[in-house]
Amino acid sequence: MPRLSLKPDSSFFRKIVVGAVGARAVCDDMALLGHEFVELERGSTDSKLWKDVKRKRVRIPDLVCLRCGQRIECRAKTKNELAMSHSEQAERTWDYGMVPQDWIAFPVCKAINEAEHTVGRLADSISYWHERDWVQWQVSGYINYFSVDGFRSCLHTRSRTKGVTEGSENFVSWDATFSSRCGPVLSVDEASRKVKIGLEDGSRPHTWSIPKHCKLFVLEGDTVKERQIIAASVPPLHRDDLACPNVLPDKHIDALLSSRERTQRFTGIKLARILKLTDHESAAQELANDAEEDVYVRLEAASYLVSCCATPAEPTFRPYIDSGDPQTQLEAVIALGDAGTPDSVALLSNIISSGENPYFLMSAAAWSLGHIGSTKANDELVHAFASVDDSLRYEALENLVGVGCSSCDNLMRGLNSQDKDIVAGCAEALRQQERLPRPIIDGLLNRLKADEPNGWVVWLVSHLPREQVNTAIAELQRHSPELHYAVTLIWSFLDSWIAKHWELRPSARFPCDM
């Protein structure tokens, strides 16, 4: 059994979320310094998991700046520590795939609000367990940055083995002292190895004792932030050194594409695709046609060719999609979504509708359509509500909700469908939108006032924010008292205590054929 298979779903998902929250915070932090960081490692800012197939990954920095080409590996933590996963296996070392000039960020993520709800029942021979966990995350304090070269120049000071629920891998760590407050550095005594820091209001100074093997990185008169490193065995990057030069070095993409390091080649072709640089077709063709090239790089080259060079998607991606390796199939579908062209949408739609593909592949196709977010892609997701596979319906629902308001017109049209499953899915996707645009709300209210309103429209309007529909609902009391009663009855349920954790009785969901 692979070690990672010992990691429970909930524990693994939580760690994925911490990583995504931390990576997003690094993007926001770096934007303050002029950078425009985007995902380099697919999924580094997302929490999507495919349980059936473990995604093939090249160990690669999480983020890359579109303006200067700087790469960042994000090692999000839940406490103050300079620690990284490490294995003696060549492709699992802490620095595998990174180059000396890459940066490593250590955001600290904190759960500031958490609520759990569980229910378990036993009725006759059927047992039922349902767990829900809501967590609000916040990146706490200062984000410390280092160069890969800085870490390589300092031997780690300790190592430990992760617990079984963490995958039983190893951690290596370097010593560091973090400030627990925001305030001025009142004194730095090199002889006694002590640093005194006050609070911003001038009260209650605190003195830190610094280990002899750690170097001090603050001076008297400096102002430090909470969680900022004041001493460590590895030198942190100064904030002034992190500013974006706002220009890619001359021939930077060419140098990346010709690099002997595969993560550099991957970075080069991905930057070329995102920046729509059409003058790298020859290099991309060479990468895509090289049978000895890593498949991750080849797929990114294929995505570039389809996206930037008008190469047809079907012949380019079909060999990967028909591969006997599920990991390659999965990555091919995601790379196809990155291309985002109309013929990519058509191919993704065929994957969903063929009825012959494994679920993980249809799930990846639905996810990719959601990330494309075009009108045609949204329509294909709406059509997926008619699938006989409930899991695929849920996948389509999640992705249409994730698309946001740009899918609302597709969903409004879907409410007119003759297929009851499509109508139900569109109503639920509209209900889950954070906030519907006013024209969509007005359109729903107009449908409610029709001679024979759709029952799903009644249900959907009942779930809209009250302040947006109160006047229209009040008018129904005179013209359509039955509709008014129906809406107010649903309101009564939504206002009741039972609505908070309501669900169908467990036996109603049990698969009858098991």
Please, are residues 103 and 64 in contact by the beta-carbon 8 Å criterion? no
pLDDT at 255 over 90: yes
- Placement of tokens 């380099």 in the chain: 40
pLDDT at 429 over 90: yes
Q: How many residues does the chain have?
A: 514
Whether residue 445 is contained in a domain is answered as yes
Whether residue 210 is contained in a domain is answered as yes
pLDDT at 339 over 80: yes
Tell me, yes or no, whether 99 and 141 share the same domain.
yes
pLDDT given at position 196: 93
Average pLDDT over residues 198-216: 87
Average pLDDT over residues 470-493: 91
pLDDT at 25 over 50: yes
pLDDT tier, 331 (very low <50, low <70, confident <90, very high otherwise) = very high
Tell me, yes or no, whether 16 and 148 share the same domain.
yes
Q: What are phi and psi of 200, to 5 degrees?
A: -60, -25
pLDDT at 8 over 80: no
pLDDT at 470 over 50: yes
Three-state SS at 498 = helix
How far is 7 from 49, CA to CA, in rounded Å?
A: 13
| Contact partners, residue 100, CB within 8 Å, separation at least 6 | 147, 148, 149, 152
Please, are residues 365 and 351 in contact by the beta-carbon 8 Å criterion? yes
Whether residue 26 is contained in a domain is answered as yes
Tell me, yes or no, whether 182 and 153 share the same domain.
no
Tell me, yes or no, whether 182 and 114 share the same domain.
no
Share of the chain above pLDDT 90, in %: 66
- Mean pLDDT value across the chain: 89
Average pLDDT over residues 243-268: 95
The model carries a pTM of 0.89
Whether residue 367 is contained in a domain is answered as no
How far is 463 from 465, CA to CA, in rounded Å?
A: 7
Tell me, yes or no, whether 234 and 120 share the same domain.
no
Please, are residues 177 and 196 in contact by the beta-carbon 8 Å criterion? no
pLDDT at 148 over 90: yes
Whether residue 209 is contained in a domain is answered as yes
Burial class (CB in 10 A: 0-12, 13-18, 19+), 194: middle
Tell me, yes or no, whether 34 and 104 share the same domain.
yes
Closest Cα partner for 508 from 249, 149, 128?
128
pLDDT at 166 over 90: no
Average pLDDT over residues 226-237: 94
- Placement of tokens 């590996």 in the chain: 73
pLDDT at 197 over 70: yes
Lowest mean pLDDT among 115-119, 410-414, 487-491: 115-119
pLDDT given at position 54: 65
Number of H helices and E strands in the chain, helices first, is 19, 17
pLDDT tier, 280 (very low <50, low <70, confident <90, very high otherwise) = very high
Strand partners, 176: 232
Q: What is the domain count for the chain?
A: 3
pLDDT given at position 57: 58
pLDDT given at position 160: 67
80: domain range? 1-124+131-158
DSSP state of 510: S
pLDDT tier, 384 (very low <50, low <70, confident <90, very high otherwise) = very high
pLDDT given at position 164: 45
Q: What is the CATH number of the domain that holds 207?
A: 2.40.50.100
Tell me, yes or no, whether 150 and 43 share the same domain.
yes
